[in-house]
Amino acid sequence: MTRPTYVYDLAALATHAAAVRAALPERVELLYAVKANPDPGMLRTLAATVDGFEAASRGELRHLAGVLPGRRVAAFAGPGKTDADLSAALAADVHRVHVESVAELHRLAALAWAAGRTVDVLLRVNLPVATPGAVLVMGGQASPFGMDPAEAVRLAADPPDGVRVRGVHAHLASGLDATTAAGVAREVTDWAVRRVRAEEVNVGGGMAVDYRRPEHRFDWPSYGRLLGEVSDAYPGVRLRIEPGRAVAVYCGSYVTEVIDVKRSHGQWFVIVAGGTHHLRTPAAKGHSQPYTVVPRGGDGPRTDGGPVSVVGQLCTPKDVLARDADSDPIAVGDLLVFGMAGAYAWNISHRDFLMHDPPDFTTGDPLAVARGWGR
Ligand X SMILES: *Cc1c(COP(=O)(O)O)cnc(C)c1O
- Residues belonging to the active site: 315
Dihedral sign (CA 281, 272, 362, 278): positive
We find the least distance from the C-beta atom of residue 323 to ligand X, in angstroms, to be 24
Measured N-to-C along each axis, helices 178-196 and 149-157 cross at an angle, to the nearest 10 degrees, of 40
- Residue 330 engages ligand X in binding (rule: CB under 6 A): no
Q: Choose the binding region for ligand X from 31-39, 262-270, 331-339, 351-359 (rule: CB under 6 A).
A: 31-39
Which of 86, 258 has the CB closer to ligand X? 86
Which of 128, 306 has the CB closer to ligand X? 128
- Residue 89 engages ligand X in binding (rule: CB under 6 A): no
Q: Choose the binding region for ligand X from 150-158, 188-196, 204-212, 257-265 (rule: CB under 6 A).
A: 204-212
We find the least distance from the C-beta atom of residue 2 to ligand X, in angstroms, to be 30
Q: Which residue from 171, 186, 277, 302 is in contact with ligand X, where contact means CB under 6 A?
A: 171
By rule CB under 6 A, what string of x and - marks binding of each residue 225-254 to ligand X?
-----------------xxxxx--------
Which of 23, 36 has the CB closer to ligand X? 36
Q: Which residue from 204, 274, 290, 342 is in contact with ligand X, where contact means CB under 6 A?
A: 204
- Residue 13 engages ligand X in binding (rule: CB under 6 A): no
We find the least distance from the C-beta atom of residue 77 to ligand X, in angstroms, to be 5
We find the least distance from the C-beta atom of residue 122 to ligand X, in angstroms, to be 11
- Residue 139 engages ligand X in binding (rule: CB under 6 A): no
> Which chain residues interact with ligand X by CB under 6 A?
33, 35-36, 56, 77, 171, 174, 204-207, 242-246
